[in-house]
């Protein structure tokens, strides 16, 4: 009797989604708050556009660089810990054997059942180190392209998000007139972004959407009111 093959579908783009979330959330919120703040102080849309474009350029570079450095730091940390494990299985073999057995017993295996497993790993030093990196330290082998990919993804998402609140100011001459369109478009974008983020991250989409809208709205509202009060 033919059987249907079992295919497990798991989401594997966690790092890419995290980078998009980081870039898009700041890209929508920061330029939105900046544009709202300037709109509370000036009437020229041109000023808002110039300041907004400058902020998007600076923000995307800063965020992308931050993502690059974070990924490089993760890779350097992994390399450092791997070298330590490689040294310990040679210089502190007994300690490593005990730690390996402890890992197996934590999954319900008996002491006797761990003996052949540990002996098998001892014959394969590279696999033993791989095992300890994953199950003792919880570290996965980093993608060598991760740093550049992360930087580009975060920067690109920031730019894409930043143009949404800025776009209305490119079509209206006065900032007060463009402001309300910017508010409308950005809040809708924040809501959609929050919903999609919730679906990908496993959070409740509606709640995620509302949280994103509230945070973005509060940031822009605070900037607008402060600028109005000062000007």
CA 104 to the chain's CA centroid: 32
CB 154 within 8 A of CB 19: yes
Q: Give the per-residue pLDDT at 231.
A: 61
Two structure tokens written together for 168? 């209305």
Tens digit of each residue's pLDDT (9 = 90 or more) over 190-221: 888 788 777 766 678 788 788 878 877 777 77
Could you give the C-alpha distances from 212 to 181, 186, 192, 206, in angstroms and in order?
A: 18, 11, 9, 10
d(CA 73, CA 213): 32
Domain range list for the chain: 14-225
For the record, the structure tokens of 182 come out as: 């910017």
Contact 185, 48 (CB under 8 A): no
CB 137 within 8 A of CB 3: no
Reading the chain (231 residues) residue by residue, the pLDDT tens digits are 445 554 444 444 577 778 888 888 888 888 888 888 888 778 888 998 999 899 999 999 999 999 899 888 888 888 888 888 888 888 888 888 888 888 888 888 888 888 888 888 888 888 888 888 888 888 787 777 888 888 999 999 999 988 988 999 998 888 888 888 888 888 888 888 788 777 766 678 788 788 878 877 777 777 777 766 766
């Amino acid at each position: 009797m033919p059987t249907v093959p079992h295919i497990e579908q798991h989401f594997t783009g966690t790092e890419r989604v995290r980078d998009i979330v980081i870039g898009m959330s700041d890209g929508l919120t920061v330029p939105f708050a900046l544009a709202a703040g300037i709109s509370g102080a000036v009437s020229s849309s041109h000023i808002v556009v110039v300041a907004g474009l400058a902020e998007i350029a600076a923000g995307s570079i800063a965020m992308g660089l931050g993502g690059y450095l974070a990924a490089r730091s993760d890779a350097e940390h992994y390399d450092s810990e791997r070298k330590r494990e490689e040294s310990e299985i040679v210089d502190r073999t007994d300690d490593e054997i005990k730690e390996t057995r402890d890992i197996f017993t934590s999954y319900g295996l008996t002491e006797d059942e761990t003996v052949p497993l540990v002996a098998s790993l001892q014959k394969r030093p590279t696999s033993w180190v791989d095992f300890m990196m994953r199950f003792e330290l919880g570290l996965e082998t980093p993608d060598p392209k991760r740093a550049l990919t992360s930087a580009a993804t975060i920067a690109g998402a920031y730019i894409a998000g930043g143009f949404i609140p800025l776009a209305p100011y490119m079509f209206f001459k006065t900032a007060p007139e463009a402001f309300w369109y910017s508010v409308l478009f950005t809040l809708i974008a924040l809501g959609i972004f929050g919903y999609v983020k919730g679906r990908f991250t496993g959070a409740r989409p509606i709640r995620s959407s509302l949280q994103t809208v509230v945070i973005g709205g509060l940031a822009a509202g605070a900037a607008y009111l402060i600028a109005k009060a000062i000007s």
